[in-house]
Amino acid sequence: MRLKSFKFYSPSSLGEALELLKQNKGNAKLLAGGTDLVLQMKRKVVTPEVIISLLEIDELRRIEKVEGALRVGATVTHSTLENSELLHDGFQILSSSAKKVGSPQVRNRGTLGGNLCNASPAADTSPAMLVLGAQVYVVSQEGERNIPIDLFFTGPGSCAIEEAEILKDVIIPEQPPETLGVYLKLGRRRGMDVALASVAVLVMFEGKGEASIRRCRIGLGSVSPTPIRAKRAEEFLRGRVLEEKVIQEAGEYVQSECCPISDIRASAEYRKEMVRVLCVRAMKQLMGVRCPNLLRGKYE
């Protein structure tokens, strides 16, 4: 399908990109990986007169540890997140979610910033970011501000970034010891499919080897207008021992907190049932890692 003609700019600094955004207010789109934007342009969903590429801005391509926290630039690709050694200590759930994004070709091109700003309820990295307690940093010519990830998604396809702002990076706080996480996704096929439902579960256990939960966060995708936290389920799990009865009841809490839609891909009822199943599976996987001798063979 032929694209409408447009002007293309590739600035080498954030300052230059922000000036171009100002000069072309209302007529410009930012390009990170382009895996969503180009499709939208082909379908005439958006028809920008100007494209401003962020791919030549060095500071947006960095991923680094800063005082224990993880700083991820907006144009860091999913394949980088999937393979980075910096995600081995407490941030594995982000690596796991990045690995579920599309195909290898899409992961090599698609970026974290693009995935978040596209604000799809089915985005793979969003539930992981919710449970990790990320902060999104955006910059404009007026200065910089941070947005808690819980407040970042405002509706299907919309987020809290204003027209004159650019997502600079995401800061993920250091996770406490004894923290384990799992991300699970259900699609109509094993790979390269948008999630019908997804669950990210991050649990901080009490002392080494114990199954008692100090804190739990559960992020859900594809079952609400935006990615959400299952806060009633999180509160229910706090202080409890992760065992069969508790796991099943937590799954029911999760099911009650979502409000999916029916569409051509799945019914609302199916999504509600599957998000419960995914939550139960995720917690059983965590229990299998935490106490392998107790669960070996039972849930494998």
Q: What is the pLDDT of residues 63-89, one digit of tens each?
A: 999 988 999 999 999 999 999 999 987
Q: What is the CATH number of the domain that holds 35?
A: 3.30.43.10
Residue 131 in domain: yes
Residue 300 in domain: no
Query: What integer pLDDT is reported at residue 209 of this predicted model?
Result: 65
Q: Which of 79, 82, 60, 85 is nearest to 71 (CA)?
A: 60
Domain count, the chain: 3
Query: What integer pLDDT is reported at residue 296 of this predicted model?
Result: 42
Q: What is the pLDDT of residues 254-265, one digit of tens each?
A: 999 999 999 988
Residue 255 in domain: yes
Tell me the residue range of the domain where 197 lies: 179-295
Q: What is the CATH number of the domain that holds 100?
A: 3.30.465.10
Residue 2 in domain: no
Looking at the chain, the whole-number percentage of residues with pLDDT higher than 70 is 94
Residue 281 and residue 216 share a domain: yes
Residue 114 and residue 219 share a domain: no
Chain mean pLDDT for the chain = 91
Residue 84 and residue 36 share a domain: no
Residue 263 and residue 163 share a domain: no
The mean pLDDT value for 100-116 works out to: 92
Residue 1 in domain: no
pLDDT at position 100 over 50: yes
Least confident of 37-46, 217-226, 254-263, 269-278: 37-46
Tell me how far CA of residue 121 lies from CA of 7, 221, 290, 300, in angstroms.
Answer: 30, 6, 30, 30
Residue 156 in domain: yes
pLDDT at position 16 over 60: yes
Query: What integer pLDDT is reported at residue 224 of this predicted model?
Result: 95
Residue 270 in domain: yes
Domain boundary among 172, 197, 229: 172
Residue 118 in domain: yes
Residue 22 and residue 113 share a domain: no
Residue 91 and residue 36 share a domain: no
